[in-house]
Amino acid sequence: MENKLHKHIGETSNTMC
pLDDT band at 4; cut points 50, 70, 90:
confident
- Cα-based distances in Å from 3 to 9, 10, 17: 10, 11, 21
Residue pLDDT, tens place only, 5-15: 667 777 776 66
pTM above 0.75, yes or no: no
Instruction: For the chain, report the end-to-end CA distance as a whole number of angstroms.
Output: 24
CA 9 to chain CA centroid, nearest Å: 2
pLDDT band at 17; cut points 50, 70, 90:
low
